[in-house]
Structure 1
């Protein structure tokens, strides 16, 4: 597909890289010629220097032939204007990044009036992910499928756990637990395990289960999942506001440390139930005085990656709190994963995932639509949810007779709200939603699972 991206900041560049990898024809628009050149040096994209909200600039970028325009500049208003012009000039699909909390309450109205295909809010998506993690602290990552009724959870096997040196096939018989282990990370390797795969302490395990079964599995595996009653957040930006609001009703006492006095006053108005502390979140004495050793969850949410990483490492040295670390840049991912940072949240990756999901569904509006897409590990493994809309080569054939690709697992079949953990004799039927976990990135249709 021909896709135009306006804005080559962090989100725009990440999107350009991922969509280019999936063989789309990408054109980037930005007023910063040097930033464009830096992207063009590393990936094969067309570049147009100029204001993306100007009709002539969009024409130069080929808006008449474009299938999709994605506006990801730092200005919500500019993004909306870009999409409005693109809709009039090229009649293509449009996606806008809209981050201001004032707009979030009216997002459905904005989408309808501007005829947007999708409106994305990276901080809101990140806040929802963190809120899920605070409700289920044992997990490193939680991804909802089937509108939240089934989840893919990632956790690390503690040394000495009952799961250490257990075969995957023994989980059901020994733990009497209805979960399906679908991916294992060991060092830099990602494996889709078969029944004979032996798990080891330190492995990061991803499994799929309904919400109630996952809590029971953690209990039987001897992994503590104490609910969080107190949380300390450093940084009072948009993400923190969305997060505190998402946790309303969760009975968590929230303490927010923010350096800017004016921002503290605003936070006090926006979040009357939270305790707002005016101070430097990197001041160790302040953190100790405010109870970093006693808090049950600690999230470093400032705008600086280095500060967030150092704060989480300090929190890990002082407490047993559930750690959450916001990271904007994805450079040095291997180094970051080797540190004790708890759950690492990448807002721009969440945004890119949502847009990729939309692009793949758009490519394939006829067959099995992609409903949900998550990267289990950046570019190494994906979990996808397909809705089977019509008969295809995978329908009605027992799974044991399907010639599926290697390193691919049919992880769950949702049939009219009933979740089936697939076995060899099970079949996929029209109307089902099917969850696939694979190291083959870039699947667009359910039939792509076949060799």
Structure 2
């Protein structure tokens, strides 16, 4: 498929190279012609100098035939404007914009533009490497308000209902992995041995939630 990338920084050039290795055609747009040096001598795609939200520039990049568009410049406003033009003007099916400000990311998600909120995402990646298993979040929504995390559950919770666990830890059980399969629990679901339990919690409560999960049901009463 054909992919248009707006921004030829480290992320844009790396993404272009990866897509080319997968045999996709790629056009990279950047207002600074010097940025294209990052693409290397082996890059076979288009290199177009200009603004990624300029319709004529996008047409030159093949946006009318593109199946995907990635806005990864260093400016939030440029990324979201170009992403909206790609989606709303040219009808590109897969559009993603990189956003540094997590509050803006939440707004743009509501507009139907998938975003990668760089700061929260990077923070989560560091936490998953730094903290003990089961403490760091597995997923966080763009504003950073709600996190999904694996619960470091005390073994004494085996045999107890999910509703009891939710009440004790102050979070909602999102899903359980059981024997390699995902389970969507209800209030009557009972925790079994070797279950991996994931909960959705407010970001500011993650420490309290994990601490409560490590206690026995009796200690939580």
Partners of 1:398 and 1:425 within 8 A in 2: yes
How far residue 285 of structure 1 moved from its aligned partner, in angstroms, is 1.7
Select 1:421's aligned residue among 181, 184, 209.
184
Partners of 1:407 and 1:439 within 8 A in 2: no
Alpha-carbon distance change, 234 to 407 in structure 1, aligned in 2, over 3 angstroms = same
Alpha-carbon distance change, 332 to 262 in structure 1, aligned in 2, over 3 angstroms = closer
Secondary structure of residue in 1 paired with 2:119: helix
The match for 1:411 is 174
How far residue 302 of structure 1 moved from its aligned partner, in angstroms, is 1.1
Q: TM-score, normalised by structure 1?
A: 0.41
The match for 1:232 is 4
Cα separation, 1, equivalents of 2:152 and 2:26: 39
Residue 324 (1) aligns with residue 64 (2) = no
The match for 1:391 is 155
How far residue 332 of structure 1 moved from its aligned partner, in angstroms, is 4.4
Residue 352 (1) aligns with residue 123 (2) = yes
Residue 294 (1) aligns with residue 65 (2) = yes
Alpha-carbon distance change, 426 to 303 in structure 1, aligned in 2, over 3 angstroms = same
The match for 2:212 is 447
Select 1:375's aligned residue among 140, 144, 167.
140
Alpha-carbon distance change, 397 to 403 in structure 1, aligned in 2, over 3 angstroms = same
Alpha-carbon distance change, 412 to 296 in structure 1, aligned in 2, over 3 angstroms = same
The match for 1:263 is 35
How far residue 442 of structure 1 moved from its aligned partner, in angstroms, is 2.9
How far residue 337 of structure 1 moved from its aligned partner, in angstroms, is 4.1
Higher share of residues assigned helix: 2
Cα separation, 2, equivalents of 1:403 and 1:305: 38
Written as runs of structure 1 = structure 2, the 5 A alignment for 1:276-315 is 276-282=46-52, 283-315=54-86
Cα separation, 1, equivalents of 2:142 and 2:32: 35
Partners of 2:148 and 2:200 within 8 A in 1: yes
Select 1:242's aligned residue among 14, 39, 49.
14
Alpha-carbon distance change, 246 to 446 in structure 1, aligned in 2, over 3 angstroms = farther
Partners of 1:232 and 1:292 within 8 A in 2: yes
Alpha-carbon distance change, 312 to 420 in structure 1, aligned in 2, over 3 angstroms = closer
Partners of 2:171 and 2:199 within 8 A in 1: yes
Secondary structure of residue in 1 paired with 2:11: helix
| Structure 2: tracts of 5 or more residues without a match | 215-219
How far residue 268 of structure 1 moved from its aligned partner, in angstroms, is 3.8
Q: CA RMSD of the aligned region, Å?
A: 3.2
Cα separation, 1, equivalents of 2:195 and 2:56: 55
Partners of 1:233 and 1:255 within 8 A in 2: yes
Alpha-carbon distance change, 331 to 401 in structure 1, aligned in 2, over 3 angstroms = closer
Secondary structure of residue in 2 paired with 1:316: helix
Cα separation, 1, equivalents of 2:56 and 2:203: 48
Cα separation, 2, equivalents of 1:243 and 1:266: 11
Alpha-carbon distance change, 305 to 247 in structure 1, aligned in 2, over 3 angstroms = same
The match for 1:7 is none
Cα separation, 2, equivalents of 1:334 and 1:440: 15
Alpha-carbon distance change, 428 to 339 in structure 1, aligned in 2, over 3 angstroms = same
Cα separation, 1, equivalents of 2:211 and 2:75: 40
Cα separation, 1, equivalents of 2:163 and 2:76: 46
How far residue 316 of structure 1 moved from its aligned partner, in angstroms, is 2.6
